[in-house]
A and B are shown apart, each in its own frame.
Chain A
């Protein structure tokens, strides 16, 4: 039943800019680095000849973790707004489909859109490095994959939280404000304890136990999504 809701959601997000967002976000990140490396290429070559890839990934790290959180905010809001926009919840939920399937389909779609961005980021990073003439032999493939996907996995609790809130509440402006605030605060929270989920997107790449943070993100994300689903089940639809 969730499959049917998912296929319906896929149709509904046509021309809504969600796919565009998923494509533009990783390209934007890389464009910034293109500017960085394009302008100072000689400097990089001189100073870091043997660690050009590492430099690229290092410059990208904070931007990736920030973009992931912003992405969660925008994807959740845009996706929920497809139904809020013309109050389609009442029509959707009066159909013979369980609310949990509706919720699960939306969560799956937002997770898929985010994952799609991550794949593009990974491919784009490789293409970026090679086109700037970084040596293929020293390409840190595992680090590239880690930087592209682990911050997203670490951000799963936020995706689940923001999507639940966006589905539940009509006022998207407030939720976008919350999402942006979370993103900004996350930049300054690295000195806070590790168990704070705000740090997980960054630590899932930077720390020496990335799997731990990625796994914590997935488990907590699933738990938050489950709570959101239970609340959605009980909600009165106005």
Chain B
């Protein structure tokens, strides 16, 4: 039995010779909220479809709950709730009937329908045909469907797509409560870092079908920390001096700024004094804060995290 709820090994999928997902090794811990990030078309949905057995991998394998998906598909899916891309629903049926259609297949007690409607806040609207629902309500119904079978793992593909800010907030709070309240592990995909930033414990970033980052949220945050930029007279000489002092400094040729990794206030003071004593004029000392979003963009646009 492995320690991971989801583990993919060298997962790849090609369509007509073009790889949509290559050599993906996802690892998701029990009880975690895993933010699966990437721009549109990076391969998130393809990956999620493979996790659910909707499409077959070209190469590699998927293990859920420590069991291979292709061998124990039904047993595994009994413990998984999912919402893939936009919500699926039967528009001519009411919310209760929609859930009943699923309940008849997964065979859980009827009382679950009322419970999940309560959880997603749709209990009052349950008797209306779903085609008249707003997108937010349909998304919530989708989440209710995913929760119906009391899953241990929830796979949500862009669950806040098309929602207004208050809807996003609502869904976020709902998802955030899943591990603590119900002991559910969550995989949530998104193309926006800001959306999962506040709930994910671990982040995986996918670009052009390949996983380019997978680590904890704090570790991603650390990488997004600030840097110090200096503009001084005779920057080359100053750079050599700083490097000689064992500092990790670089010179940005276009702007002429010397860039230093984040340092404490007293270190900055020391550096400035040292440079002044060597006769450099100091024009600017700036702190540059790289936002998480910048870092995310840098990662998805091809640069490795620094």
Q: Using a CB–CB distance below 8 Å, which chain A residues touch chain B? A: 4-5, 7-8, 11-12, 14-16, 82, 85-98, 234, 236-237
Contact = CB atoms under 8 A, between A and B. Distances in A.
A-B interface, 4 closest residue pairs, ranked by CB to CB distance from nearest? A91-B88, A236-B55, A96-B77, A88-B88
Given A4-B107, A11-B101, A94-B77, A16 B92 contact: yes
A119 B93 CA distance: 28
A90 B93 CA distance: 18
B72 to A, nearest CB: 11
Contacts of A86: 88-91
Nearest to B107: A4
B54 A14 contact: no
Q: Which of B52, B86, B104, B106 has the most CB of A within 10 A?
A: B104
Nearest to A3: B104
Contacts of B85: 90
Nearest to A235: B55
Contacts of A87: 86, 88
Interface residues of B, number: 32
Nearest to A236: B55
A60 B107 CA distance: 45
Most chain B CB inside 10 Å of its own CB: which residue of A86, A90, A237: A90
B195 interface: no
Contacts, number: 83
A7 B104 contact: yes
B287 to A, nearest CB: 47
B32 interface: no
Contacts of B105: 4-5, 8, 92, 95-97
B264 to A, nearest CB: 51
Contacts of B56: 234, 236
Given A91-B84, A91-B145, A98 B74 contact: yes
Contacts of A91: 82, 84, 88, 102, 142, 145
Contacts of A82: 90
A8 B104 contact: yes
A90 B106 contact: no
25 contacts: A4-B104, A4-B105, A4-B107, A11-B101, A12-B93, A14-B93, A15-B93, A86-B88, A86-B89, A88-B89, A90-B52, A90-B54, A91-B82, A92-B88, A93-B53, A94-B52, A94-B53, A94-B54, A94-B84, A96-B105, A97-B74, A234-B56, A236-B54, A237-B54, A237-B55
Nearest to B104: A8
A12 B130 CA distance: 13
A7 B106 CA distance: 12
A8 B101 contact: yes
Contacts of B100: 11
A197 B54 CA distance: 34
A108 to B, nearest CB: 15
Contact of B91 (A8, A14, A85): A85
Contacts of A90: 49, 52, 54, 84-85, 88
Contacts of B149: 95-96
Considering residues B54, B77, B91, which has the most beta carbons from chain A within 10 angstroms of its beta carbon?
Answer: B54
A236 B88 CA distance: 17
Contacts of B78: 96
Contacts of B86: 87
B193 interface: no
B52 A15 contact: no
A86 B93 CA distance: 12
Contacts of B82: 91, 94
Interface string B192-222: 0000000000000000000000000000000
B49 A237 contact: yes
Given A11-B97, A97-B106, 20 more contacts: A4-B107, A8-B101, A8-B104, A11-B93, A14-B93, A15-B92, A16-B92, A89-B88, A90-B54, A91-B88, A92-B88, A92-B105, A94-B52, A95-B77, A96-B77, A96-B106, A97-B74, A236-B49, A237-B54, A237-B55
